[in-house]
Amino acid sequence: MSYLVDNDGFFAAIEQERAMNPNTITVRIKDVYGRQTAYPVCDKAKLFASLAGTATLTHDARQIILALGYNIEVEPQHLS
């Protein structure tokens, strides 16, 4: 899949890819005190965080999510 398109086409391509693979969750990576932290973005990722009892998806939680057959997609960062 090519991402060398305008923003509207870029996000349309991501949405199409998500629809084709329902076992994908989306996280947003933030730097918190020098550590990369994964924050859930989509509803499924938020459910996993809720099950883990955390606001973020820890490394261990991400490993379990992967073992369950889910893919973890990192939300693209926007430069402002």
Residue 79: other Cβ atoms inside 10 A: 3
Cα 4 → chain centroid: 20
Task: Tell me the pLDDT tens digit for each residue of 9-67.
Answer: 555 655 666 666 679 999 999 988 998 899 999 999 999 999 999 999 999 999 999 99
Q: Which residue has the tokens 């989306």?
A: 26
Q: How many residues does the chain have?
A: 80
> What pLDDT was estimated at residue 1?
35
> What pLDDT was estimated at residue 62?
94
| Domain spans in the chain, listed from the N-terminal domain onward | 22-74
**pTM to 2 decimals?**
0.69
CA angle 9, 40, 49 (to 5 degrees): 150
